[in-house]
Structure 1
């Protein structure tokens, strides 16, 4: 199910980060216990009443001079316009309405995307209300007084945000076609790959990093079966600073991954696997998607009989948190192993939505416990009562135990490995929830 995306745009120091943190609550986008993945908090999951959406902070580097601030805000607004379903435009009641606000408001108005105008730092409604009305002059609707720091007016603002969600954004997609997001750093060959699959130059491709236009959904039929490919290429400017390019491509990846069943992470074979690849992979892992790592430009690599083996080990090392991911060596240029890619997509989709009966799961659990005794602490031993699968995409299991604290990460991983030994689950992460049940509940 894809969730609506909401982006926050605003000048430096109007309180974007504070608002982001308040809305994100504890659900902060940092992967815990995951080696190799650290991340700026660019996105977070937010739940408001019965609505779930992904919040994106378009921020980034805070510039010094006024004209740079305006060009940066335009960049951020453009990112928001490109990727978000609803935009929160944050202004500051204490600094009042400034020229940069008006210029960005023009851009947002012309985009015809729904915008919620929030006026921040209104800690006292009676005192500041006359100043809030000044923001009507932006011509993008009613200004909503909020205070990120004091958490005032946040509920009304979120009500206004979710009003803009369309039924299509909120409903489970009826579309049965598998959705595949092609993600990766700029210039690793994402568009060339889609062009090759399509057999036509649908997307603008050139050798300059950042020349593809926009995320495009493309239907590809393979052996009579339709697939929808979501292309995340699409950086519009070539003169960006490196960190900005990275932030932008990560935001694009978040929004595409959100809509996909399977994520193909494209890595440039001539460069090897990089830290930014790990960041993008971390998003797909955290979102519980099916994952295939496609090592592109394989035809351009000098090979010995050990090359594939060495390469695979290196990827497994850097992306140690997703040892389940499938790896395929391809060339978008020559079409090498592309038929294999579809076979792999089918396998991963099947595993991503595989259900295992409770009886069989408990047999595996009992056998695992017999082979390796659960951990104990201060004389108290972990007891596993029962295990059941509660959902798919990704396969999600609940294990009932006597004491959650005793379930060490390593024992949970041992159980996961046992389940994988029995059912494969290649290409998909598995999620586990540990619930306590007192002895007397038995």
Structure 2
């Protein structure tokens, strides 16, 4: 667990949150690596943190960083005064000394420590623009401030994975850095956060697109959701901060959903739910919806049923005919799930128009649902050539 930098007397709210997060991290740790600056020497904050770590009772390794010439370095010697054992010299930028540090960490781990279970029933990425309440949403589910929450937009820079069990179901939550438009990424840290957020989408089964309903849905919200949709991920649209809206009646909600689906076509197939991360209202229901979407996108349809529905759709509306003769759909099959993918064989697949493929997708949804998941259709010529 990588924590923010600690200060002795945190004056700013975000510094307080960093301190709380560090204390929580220590409470969950088996070993603590205390990183200090070898160029600056021992500072008052180092002594303060060392005292806190001594009281924790955990094994502590002092890593003295920024000692680029390890062979001649003596800067780490000063840190013996902290009373935390032998300091380990390190040059993190070049990687020098990292092997020795890793060896000490492994040696300090308790023998009874079990490797954390890798499997999860569902992997959920929490995505959205900065400052829409993603970290508050995750913290509400966890019941503790595992992720720093602050009013300054863009506080969360990394994609942080958190495992929890809800009603016997194993959930891995990925709270991503806020996604901005690429043109507005102005520093290296934010750029790295953007890359990690994209990676989080790739690792997820279902993405929760959080939007600040008080500020209103922006085009960037729809673009972020489209990224997840194009990646083939399940998607749930989460309207956070709904408790701050004055008119929250059924007609207002219906109008809100209608406007969203008019502005982004893919949202016609995505469940929309309102919630409040601050009060916790409907937060657990969001996770239930994510499981429902995951179950829908994992569904497999027997080939006989696929062809029955396909024949019914073709009988209702024939494919547009080209100038080279009849265009016929011969048969189809589902070849993959999560997301569902179908292969349809035709005598002339290149003459099937895009709008007719969309008609088939709508028909498949009418038959099997697949709510919250994109459907992919691949056209092939009967001989096997596309």
Scaled to the shorter chain, the TM-score interval is 0.5 to 0.7
Match of 1:431 among 365, 376, 379: 376
1:350 and 2:295 matched: yes
Q: Cα gap change, 1:322/1:382 in structure 2, threshold over 3 Å: closer, same or farther?
A: farther
Question: Is residue 177–residue 227 contact of structure 1 (8 Å, CA) maintained in 2?
Answer: yes
Q: Cα gap change, 1:369/1:111 in structure 2, threshold over 3 Å: closer, same or farther?
A: farther
TM-score, reference length from structure 1:
0.57
Question: Aligned ranges for residues 205-220 of structure 1 at < 5 Å?
Answer: 205-220=149-164
Question: Is residue 289–residue 429 contact of structure 1 (8 Å, CA) maintained in 2?
Answer: yes
Match of 2:176 among 232, 237, 249: 232
**How far apart are 1:438 and its partner, in Å?**
5.5
1:363 and 2:325 matched: no
Question: Aligned ranges for residues 79-228 of structure 1 at < 5 Å?
Answer: 109-110=94-95, 175-228=119-172
1:57-77 Cα shifts (integer Å, max 9, x gaps) = xxxxxxxxxxxxxxxxxxxxx
Gaps of 5+ in 1: 1-105, 114-172
Q: Cα gap change, 1:369/1:407 in structure 2, threshold over 3 Å: closer, same or farther?
A: same
Question: Is residue 261–residue 289 contact of structure 1 (8 Å, CA) maintained in 2?
Answer: yes
Question: Is residue 292–residue 427 contact of structure 1 (8 Å, CA) maintained in 2?
Answer: yes
1:358-410 Cα shifts (integer Å, max 9, x gaps) = 00000000011111111111262320011001111101110001112221111
Q: Cα gap change, 1:355/1:227 in structure 2, threshold over 3 Å: closer, same or farther?
A: same
Structure 2 distance, partners of 1:295, 1:111, is 47
Question: Aligned ranges for residues 31-430 of structure 1 at < 5 Å?
Answer: 109-110=94-95, 175-233=119-177, 242-244=184-186, 250-303=194-247, 304-378=249-323, 380-430=325-375
Question: Is residue 185–residue 249 contact of structure 1 (8 Å, CA) maintained in 2?
Answer: no
**How far apart are 1:107 and its partner, in Å?**
7.5
Question: Is residue 341–residue 376 contact of structure 2 (8 Å, CA) maintained in 1?
Answer: yes
Q: How many residues align?
A: 272
Structure 1 distance, partners of 2:143, 2:271, is 25
Structure 2 distance, partners of 1:293, 1:112, is 46
TM-score, reference length from structure 2:
0.65
Q: Cα gap change, 1:110/1:231 in structure 2, threshold over 3 Å: closer, same or farther?
A: farther
Q: Cα gap change, 1:368/1:280 in structure 2, threshold over 3 Å: closer, same or farther?
A: same
**How far apart are 1:321 and its partner, in Å?**
3.2
**How far apart are 1:242 and its partner, in Å?**
3.6
**How far apart are 1:302 and its partner, in Å?**
1.6
Structure 2 distance, partners of 1:216, 1:327, is 25
Q: Please, what is the CA RMSD of the aligned residues?
A: 2.7
